[in-house]
A and B are shown apart, each in its own frame.
Chain A
């Protein structure tokens, strides 16, 4: 029986079958007899989530522009379909050809969050691909690669992958495929290919690095072998106006999480919030011109038929041309009856004219990231938002007709005290009071202030990479304190499961010794760890126990400045010296100005051969 028939026989037994059969508008079908290299682009979560991911859309289209390469999509099946696949010997397949991905040249995963690691193992297993890279033989095929933010410390995944791709993939992915095709024709082995591949900037081949550990459990040495470079540098795209952007998206039938056109407006971030990994690993700041953004928006709306578009970036209001850009976009979208959504706006440059523009396009409430409850703590984390700015933003919002605001905070930040936690409640109380002090507030409705509190997760490549995470006892104490401090019914508090945050930090800061824990956890049935209903913390703890790995060594221990960190041999352009400097500055509750105001000497300008901004004063 053909695989397609096998799949179809069971499709009506499961939820949302259109996720598993392809055929969407915009999907790329090629004649496989004319294709040289096949790439299965896998997202280690369900279709609904994976299909929303912008990076995958970019790389999918980019690869398929090359006539002799074919990139296809693959997602983790839901529980119901996985059971059917296992029962009926349906291997994991790609949605365009419905061919098993085990027959592909590349199996590429995008690693967006730590809690998707077990899904990678599960997908490899479903595909019939050996889970450990060492078991894949020396034939040049089935190269398992990964990219995305999590590969800035890929060590907890090192045993499962042949290659990690550091940084932006638009150029390096094709270089890697070109090399593969060239060597494939020459009859090269996997090892020969990997030895050549690791000479390409951005390509990290974990098997070529030997780790030694001291008696204290800390890494004592990382030695490259097989001619691999001692330091692997990430890749970036220099000119955002020239970078490839797709003219079409695959338009799903079933509703997905971000079911709209997404247009990237800028990469990197000028802000330097000390907890934010994205703010550092995506440096330097580069933006697209208004013309490019407009052209891409129009083209994608016309080709996909979406009536909603969203601007993607880490901080859209930091675009140097934001007001004229929005005016131009809104002129177009309003005329075409398209909704424009603007996530990622900042409080400190939130103007009335910006609100007027948002009001035209958005009906729901406003969400702001305050992150810390007191000014002292906000200075520690370099979230350069003052209480006046928060109040002013809320005032503008209330006067503009909004009656709900949502505020994001973190708990367990470095130097945090009980006072900072009470400060969150106090701030929320003052916002409620502010609402009732405004004469022209929205009538007939009460105010609602929602507070969402996440547990702080220190991440590699941030000034807080050295920091320990609060223990569960500390977090529980703080959560209770916050609940007791909130007196008003107008304030709603929600927070994350601290167990999830603990696992996140371990996988974020872990080293190679965690690979076996990830494997054991998966063996015990862990998958979809980021889904509350699937998260099995007790199974994870059993896995740590059985592997003799102490979670606290990674989660609750301070990493010393002079210690070899698991990710020290990976270079994301921002220097460790800078992170140490910033960590010390944080401890003095001192802020660092954003990159447009003053260059903080993070190391990026050295890599790109000049200042990031013409106007910023050099500090190097």
Chain B
């Protein structure tokens, strides 16, 4: 049995495929590819594959991780080509490799997004002001109901730049098996602190990282 880790992009119209739908979509993609995907051996035998992280509906990504097993060894390039030949529009395998690290090694993810507004200067100031606050409190839905959390300590702002019509940000947030924060939490917090109208666009996951900021491999 060959254990495989594929990295794929999810862009354009493919960002409207929900996580649940993505599962079904991948199953059909595997079947179309004719790759000998390994089935579990339990009572309800099903093809085994798993996504490292769920991606919110409407987010793009250049780095989604998909693990699966094949019944026979097939060269990585061939796996990539056969999947890409039958992938939906907007989804493309960029890399196929061994599963080097355990999924639990994932600690954070990096996101880029644009906040567009007519009053860019005002919005930029509001962003700066929010980032300078000692705490950024947000309400997060948990299994036990709404919980107030401070995302500030675990939020790393990589860049925050002003353009003619937008504030472009790159930030890292915790991801993986423990805590998952989503950039929309920050965006909601911003909406609560400013009256300036803005749209959040082009939200994209750009990297899946380990605790030391190295790429998850």
A304 CB contacts on chain B under 8 angstroms? 28, 32
> Secondary structure of the B side of the interface?
helix
**Known contacts A12-B57, A23-B13, A253-B88: does B28 contact A305 (CB below 8 Å)?**
yes
In the complex the two chains form, is B17's CB within 8 Å of A253's CB?
Answer: yes
Partner of B24, one of A12, A17, A255: A255
In the complex the two chains form, is B16's CB within 8 Å of A17's CB?
Answer: yes
Partner of B88, one of A24, A302, A307: A24
**Known contacts A12-B57, A254-B21: does B86 contact A305 (CB below 8 Å)?**
yes
For the complex, give the distance between the alpha carbons of A303 and B29 in Å. Answer: 10
Q: Which of B1-50 contact A (CB under 8 A)?
A: 12-14, 16-18, 21-22, 24-25, 27-32, 34, 39, 45
B89's closest neighbor in chain A, by CB?
Answer: A23
For the complex, give the distance between the alpha carbons of A301 and B28 in Å. Answer: 10
**Known contacts A12-B58, A24-B88, A307-B27: does B17 contact A302 (CB below 8 Å)?**
no
A255 CB contacts on chain B under 8 angstroms? 21, 24
In the complex the two chains form, is A305's CB within 8 Å of B16's CB?
Answer: no
B206 to chain A, nearest CB (A): 20
For the complex, give the distance between the alpha carbons of A12 and B16 in Å. Answer: 8
For the complex, give the distance between the alpha carbons of A337 and B17 in Å. Answer: 25
For the complex, give the distance between the alpha carbons of A21 and B17 in Å. Answer: 10
A306 within 8 A of B: yes
Q: List 27 A-B contacts (CB under 8 A).
A: A11-B58, A17-B57, A18-B18, A23-B13, A23-B88, A23-B89, A25-B28, A25-B89, A253-B16, A253-B18, A253-B22, A253-B24, A253-B25, A253-B88, A254-B21, A255-B24, A301-B31, A302-B32, A302-B34, A303-B32, A304-B28, A304-B32, A305-B27, A305-B28, A305-B29, A305-B86, A307-B27
**Known contacts A18-B18, A18-B21, A253-B17: does B12 contact A23 (CB below 8 Å)?**
yes
Contact with B along A247-290 (1 / 0, CB 8 A): 00001011100000000000000000000000000000000000
In the complex the two chains form, is B32's CB within 8 Å of A253's CB?
Answer: no
A601 within 8 A of B: no
Interface centre among B16, B22, B30, B57 (most CB of A within 10 A): B16
The 3 A-B residue pairs whose C-beta atoms are closest, nearest first, are: A305-B28, A23-B13, A305-B31
Q: Which of A439-491 contact B (CB under 8 A)?
A: none
For the complex, give the distance between the alpha carbons of A17 and B21 in Å. Answer: 11
For the complex, give the distance between the alpha carbons of A254 and B90 in Å. Answer: 16
A residues sitting closer than 8 Å to B (CB atoms) are 11-12, 16-18, 21-25, 251, 253-255, 301-307, 337
For the complex, give the distance between the alpha carbons of A306 and B29 in Å. Answer: 9
A432 to chain B, nearest CB (A): 31
For the complex, give the distance between the alpha carbons of A22 and B18 in Å. Answer: 14
In the complex the two chains form, is A21's CB within 8 Å of B16's CB?
Answer: yes
Q: Which of B138-156 contact A (CB under 8 A)?
A: none
For the complex, give the distance between the alpha carbons of A303 and B28 in Å. Answer: 9
Partner of A21, one of B13, B25, B27, B34: B13
In the complex the two chains form, is A305's CB within 8 Å of B88's CB?
Answer: no
B88 CB contacts on chain A under 8 angstroms? 23-25, 253
B residues sitting closer than 8 Å to A (CB atoms) are 12-14, 16-18, 21-22, 24-25, 27-32, 34, 39, 45, 57-58, 86, 88-90
Interface centre among B28, B45, B58, B86 (most CB of A within 10 A): B28
For the complex, give the distance between the alpha carbons of A11 and B29 in Å. Answer: 25
B24 CB contacts on chain A under 8 angstroms? 253, 255
Partner of B39, one of A11, A23, A305, A337: A337
B25 CB contacts on chain A under 8 angstroms? 253
A441 to chain B, nearest CB (A): 23
A17 CB contacts on chain B under 8 angstroms? 16, 57-58
Interface centre among A12, A303, A305 (most CB of B within 10 A): A305
B87's closest neighbor in chain A, by CB?
Answer: A25
In the complex the two chains form, is A11's CB within 8 Å of B16's CB?
Answer: yes
For the complex, give the distance between the alpha carbons of A572 and B41 in Å. Answer: 53
B22 CB contacts on chain A under 8 angstroms? 253
In the complex the two chains form, is B45's CB within 8 Å of A253's CB?
Answer: no
A253 CB contacts on chain B under 8 angstroms? 16-18, 21-22, 24-25, 88
Partner of B28, one of A11, A12, A306: A306
B32's closest neighbor in chain A, by CB?
Answer: A305
For the complex, give the distance between the alpha carbons of A25 and B13 in Å. Answer: 12
B29's closest neighbor in chain A, by CB?
Answer: A305
B83 to chain A, nearest CB (A): 11
A307 CB contacts on chain B under 8 angstroms? 27-28, 31
A306's closest neighbor in chain B, by CB?
Answer: B28
A301's closest neighbor in chain B, by CB?
Answer: B31
A215 to chain B, nearest CB (A): 59
A254 CB contacts on chain B under 8 angstroms? 18, 21
9 further contact pairs, Cβ within 8 A, besides A253-B25, A305-B29, A337-B45: A17-B16, A22-B13, A23-B13, A25-B32, A25-B88, A253-B88, A254-B18, A255-B24, A305-B28
For the complex, give the distance between the alpha carbons of A251 and B14 in Å. Answer: 14
A11 CB contacts on chain B under 8 angstroms? 16, 58
For the complex, give the distance between the alpha carbons of A255 and B17 in Å. Answer: 11
A18 CB contacts on chain B under 8 angstroms? 16-18, 21
B37 to chain A, nearest CB (A): 10
For the complex, give the distance between the alpha carbons of A21 and B27 in Å. Answer: 21
In the complex the two chains form, is A25's CB within 8 Å of B86's CB?
Answer: yes
For the complex, give the distance between the alpha carbons of A261 and B40 in Å. Answer: 24
A300 to chain B, nearest CB (A): 11
Interface centre among B14, B21, B31, B34 (most CB of A within 10 A): B31
A4's closest neighbor in chain B, by CB?
Answer: B13
A305 CB contacts on chain B under 8 angstroms? 27-32, 86
A302 CB contacts on chain B under 8 angstroms? 31-32, 34
B97 to chain A, nearest CB (A): 24
Interface centre among A21, A253, A301 (most CB of B within 10 A): A253
For the complex, give the distance between the alpha carbons of A242 and B62 in Å. Answer: 46
A166 to chain B, nearest CB (A): 36
For the complex, give the distance between the alpha carbons of A305 and B25 in Å. Answer: 9
B12 CB contacts on chain A under 8 angstroms? 23
B17's closest neighbor in chain A, by CB?
Answer: A253
For the complex, give the distance between the alpha carbons of A276 and B50 in Å. Answer: 48
B121 to chain A, nearest CB (A): 24
A16's closest neighbor in chain B, by CB?
Answer: B18
For the complex, give the distance between the alpha carbons of A24 and B13 in Å. Answer: 9
B90 CB contacts on chain A under 8 angstroms? 23
B23 to chain A, nearest CB (A): 11
B91 to chain A, nearest CB (A): 10
